[in-house]
Structure 1
Amino acid sequence: MALAGLYRRVLPSPPAIDFASNEGKKLFIDAIQAGTMEGFYKLISYFQTQSEPAYCGLATLSMVLNALAIDPKRKWKGPWRWFDESMLDCCEPLEKVKAEGISFGKVVCLAQCAGAEVRAFRTTETNVDQFRHFVKRCSASDVCHVVSSYHRATFKQTGTGHFSPIGGYHVESDMVLILDVARFKYPPHWVPLTLLWEAMDTTDETTGQQRGFMLISRPQRDPGLLYTLSCRNESWNGTARYLVDDVPLLLKNQDIKDIDMVIGAVCSSLPSDFEKFIQWVAEVRRAEDAGMSISQEEKGRLSLKDEVLKQVQETGLHNYVLNFLSSSTCCRRVSFLTDDDNFRKIAASICCQGADILAGKGGSTGCSCCKETCIKCLKADDNDNKPVAVLSGTVTNGRNEEKVDVLVPPSFVKVGCGNSNNMGSGCIKLQQPSASNIFTALLLALPPQTWSGIRDQKLLQEMNGLVSIDNLPPLLQEEILHLRRQLYLLKKCQENKVDQDLSSPSI
């Protein structure tokens, strides 16, 4: 029986020049000598082939994010945190991308959600000279990469809309190197920059918008150390709408007289599954992969998490939240925010989620069960003899069992006896994680205009002072700004405006 199929395509040349051809090699060497291939080395180190015919946008983005060494704060497989197409699932369901592809605006949104700094331009918003300037600048550096959205027909190639990163620039011939992620179809190739501009200056029929390019770089500080907003369950849509649209109306339509009433108004109509929306970023690892010590990297992350936690507790707003949640006026809707559950129960749930993530299931299957947890003490693999507390759980999923560790921030640990450098597991007690911390962080992350409906001007001034991020320590300020960006982007996704508005969140 005959086997039908396609094995690659012949690259139309001209206009393209195969990267591996003699002419392509000469362009490469010339560009290296001119200093406009600096971005190439990081990109080629993480060059990947899209795993699905419609995954060009996802493959391009995961390649660039890995080249920029942005930590996804999520496990990929085994103990590894790594961007893969399957990790880019927050702005558009993967099944929909697989069937229909993805728009320019949603790739921009995905990059922003992943924590990257993004500047996006449609061809209607700039010109070919500006594009050349950005290509030349990014090609001379490895801290910024250009992603192009273009139509293949301009290059006499088969197919329609496509995404790929630009790997370099040849000044003398004014040609760019396209690192085509559809490597099963076409190899990397050089094309005239002006022709790439024409290919970008086309209309995406799905959105009615022009294509374009984006500049992606790494932020100065990694965001999402302690908290993150989740859009990987059905609750995010209604919760984002409630926080951004409904809360300001509630404050405007009620006679609010003090800060407790402000907090109560926010709590009064919280969606029942609100707890799934904002989540603690736990430090989870597979026990057998990690051995019996804590790496300096792990210890450093725990220290940063602990510092963020302390800074949240030192805000003036936290005192009000703490008093409100412990008062008899605390509404039933936020009963989950009170500290009735002990840390072991919370950690058992985290262990189950961690086991699912480590198994490549995204941490959301809900089919794992943590049958036991225990507290142990591990030493760091440096000169500091101070041990780190670890809550270890045995997770069962069907017939399989896996031991999962949750590294505990120091502020959750209480030494019950003796010298902390020589303590056994029996001397470690775990403090309950205060729910007031997470709610305080969320209130700080709400858009500043949220509170403008408060009628009492003195109270409005007091509330604005409590939620202002201007005087927050830099570490906490970055954490809150990250949550605020996430909320902005989730709301934009919910309103289906990601293709109309490419701007970074105005925060």
Structure 2
Amino acid sequence: MAMAGLYRRLLPSPPAIDFASSEGKQLFLEAIQGGTMEGFYRLISYFQTQSEPAYCGLASLSMVLNALAIDPGRKWKGPWRWFDESMLDCCEPLEKVKEKGISFGKLVCLAHCAGAKVEAFRTNQSSIDDFRKYLIRCSSSDNCHVISSYHRGIFKQTGTGHFSPIGGYHAGRDMALILDVARFKYPPHWVPLSLLWEAMDSVDVATGQQRGFMLISRPHREPGLLYTLSCKHESWVGIARYLMEDVPNLVKSKDFKDIENVLSFVFKSLPSNFGEFIKWVAEVRRREDGDNSLSQEEKGRLAVKEEVLKQVQETGLFKHVVAFLSSVNSCCRNMPSLGHKDDLPDVAASVCCQGAEILAGKFGSSVRFCCRETCVKCLNTDGDNPTTVVSATVVDGSSQQGVDVLVPSSQMGDCGCGPSDCIGMYPAGNDILTVLLLALPTETWSGMKDEKLSKEIHDLVSTENLPTLLQEEVTTLSWTAFILLFSI
């Protein structure tokens, strides 16, 4: 006879106090009166149970992102944009998270990648007094939330490393309310702050680093989100190291005569799978009854993406990248395949399949879609400028659906009726390579032998004078790449 499996665990009390118990309710009322439960209401409105045993980090983050009302900028299911665990895969493949969980550093990376402002502290970088100060600050407002990474054993609970948001603080008893996302296991519970600090002040054996806590809040301004990093394949580790570590050493070791010479050396040394590292993000929606109209909201988000793309192409650096790529023989074995017109159908099919996964709630899963009848066209809506739309019928073996991808349009040409006529109508290789160079630390070029050339490049890649939208786009990419590399 098959075993029925586990149904919940008995919460060890003490040291924890069940939130729903008489004592837990009294602590709650007193904390409300003390003004340190302000963040609770937002969090409880979006409280969710992790959908997989190892998804505690993803569930905690999606819960906090939704509580902060951060727009993911892409569809979840149907017409809705909403953060879900299945959408948090830019810093670690979901299959790997499902198997092994996620590290503290990678969760910080995910929060940055999702557009949040993050302050992260490992216990060896902070103190219990600082933690208490931060917790009081966030618990006294609804625009900042704390996610804690701790070891369950300190609370006499089963399991090891775990993530959960902190729902509030009781100053008189010096206790924190853990909103445990593993609700199938333990209910929300109060714990002494000293024990929570002890539980955080432990080493994650998978990384050899201390656990800790992170403060997550809304950014002052949301990034354009035209570009993101794709880390579904382990190859990103080598690419990140090349960009952040190898390139600075390479530019120090060579004598370059001009900027094109530098670009040639850097780009021809790129790993062959570089095309998988930086992805562009398009608005994806399901086609219903042949309706080609765009909502005002869709137009607005697309306009922001188009403005970011326009700003990329107005930089002095972009002109050098275009000139360099135009001079490169397309048969050059050392150049990665980026931005050539023959890539558009493949790009369109890939993005349509990704959009179908999102709409079906299967993003990042083992289920794979394939595209049929991919078509690139242009729409004139309500007298606006033409909008590039990639349409496809997407199938997964058992069902099919229509998907539209609204593509940011560059200023490089007029839109035609087929793929071969739409060159420049999407963020191509020259745009991506430009953004890549802008996102690299400025120190990358400081060791060049030719000081005049070094200054010229520094002026081209400096973000200080960039328009605000592009500056924030570049900053988001740069921070994410840095965190990715140093959170391994």
TM-score by length of 1: 0.85
Match of 1:277 in 2: 277
Number of equivalent positions: 482
Match of 2:424 in 1: 432
Check the 8 A contact 1:79/1:289 in 2, yes or no. Answer: no
Cα distance in 1 for partners of 2:84, 2:287 equals 23
- Give the AA of the match of 2:461: V
| Change in 2 beyond 3 A, CA 1:211/1:293 | same
Cα distance in 2 for partners of 1:335, 1:141 equals 48
Report 1:150-229 matches (<5 A): 150-223=150-223, 225-229=225-229
Cα distance in 2 for partners of 1:267, 1:206 equals 34
Quote how far apart the aligned CAs of 1:82 are.
Answer: 3.1
- Partner of 1:312, secondary structure, is helix
Check the 8 A contact 1:339/1:432 in 2, yes or no. Answer: no
Match of 2:402 in 1: 403
Report 1:318-357 matches (<5 A): 318-327=318-327, 331-334=332-335, 336-341=337-342, 346-357=347-358
Quote how far apart the aligned CAs of 1:479 are.
Answer: 0.9
Cα distance in 2 for partners of 1:290, 1:60 equals 38
| Structure 2 counterpart of 1:369, from 342, 347, 371 | 371
Cα distance in 2 for partners of 1:364, 1:262 equals 41
| Change in 2 beyond 3 A, CA 1:213/1:490 | closer
Match of 2:392 in 1: 393
Check the 8 A contact 2:94/2:365 in 1, yes or no. Answer: no
Check the 8 A contact 2:376/2:390 in 1, yes or no. Answer: yes
Quote how far apart the aligned CAs of 1:138 are.
Answer: 0.3
Moved more, 79-88 or 131-140: 79-88
| Change in 2 beyond 3 A, CA 1:450/1:385 | closer
| Structure 1 counterpart of 2:472, from 462, 478, 503 | 478
Check the 8 A contact 1:9/1:185 in 2, yes or no. Answer: yes
| Change in 2 beyond 3 A, CA 1:14/1:350 | closer
Cα distance in 2 for partners of 1:91, 1:352 equals 20
Check the 8 A contact 2:167/2:177 in 1, yes or no. Answer: yes
Match of 2:106 in 1: 106
Cα distance in 2 for partners of 1:281, 1:5 equals 42
| Change in 2 beyond 3 A, CA 1:288/1:187 | same
Moved more, 136-145 or 483-492: 483-492
Quote how far apart the aligned CAs of 1:255 are.
Answer: 2.2
Quote how far apart the aligned CAs of 1:475 are.
Answer: 0.7
- Partner of 1:351, secondary structure, is helix
RMSD value over aligned CA atoms? 3.1
Structure 2, unmatched stretches of 5+, are none
Query: Percent identity between the aligned chains?
Result: 65
- Partner of 2:5, secondary structure, is coil
Cα distance in 2 for partners of 1:345, 1:192 equals 55
Report 1:7-18 matches (<5 A): 7-18=7-18
Check the 8 A contact 1:176/1:193 in 2, yes or no. Answer: yes
Check the 8 A contact 1:150/1:161 in 2, yes or no. Answer: yes
Cα distance in 2 for partners of 1:300, 1:43 equals 29
| Change in 2 beyond 3 A, CA 1:167/1:303 | same
Quote how far apart the aligned CAs of 1:249 are.
Answer: 3.2
Match of 1:421 in 2: none
Matched, 1:488 2:482: yes
Match of 1:504 in 2: none
Quote how far apart the aligned CAs of 1:208 are.
Answer: 4.2
Residues 24-59 of structure 1 deviation map (CA, whole Å, 9 limit, x = unaligned): 223222322332211111111111112233332222
Quote how far apart the aligned CAs of 1:311 are.
Answer: 1.0
Residues 94-116 of structure 1 deviation map (CA, whole Å, 9 limit, x = unaligned): 44444444433333333333332
| Change in 2 beyond 3 A, CA 1:363/1:406 | farther
Cα distance in 2 for partners of 1:94, 1:193 equals 32
Check the 8 A contact 1:349/1:370 in 2, yes or no. Answer: no
Check the 8 A contact 1:371/1:396 in 2, yes or no. Answer: no
Residues 279-313 of structure 1 deviation map (CA, whole Å, 9 limit, x = unaligned): 22112211129954322221111111111111111
Cα distance in 1 for partners of 2:21, 2:446 equals 63
| Change in 2 beyond 3 A, CA 1:366/1:262 | farther
| Change in 2 beyond 3 A, CA 1:215/1:361 | closer
Cα distance in 2 for partners of 1:229, 1:321 equals 20
Matched, 1:117 2:117: yes
- Partner of 2:132, secondary structure, is helix
| Change in 2 beyond 3 A, CA 1:366/1:452 | farther
- Partner of 2:341, secondary structure, is coil
Cα distance in 1 for partners of 2:213, 2:141 equals 17
Match of 1:24 in 2: 24
Matched, 1:457 2:463: no
TM-score by length of 2: 0.88
Match of 1:469 in 2: 463
Residues 148-167 of structure 1 deviation map (CA, whole Å, 9 limit, x = unaligned): 22233333333333221110
Check the 8 A contact 2:374/2:390 in 1, yes or no. Answer: no
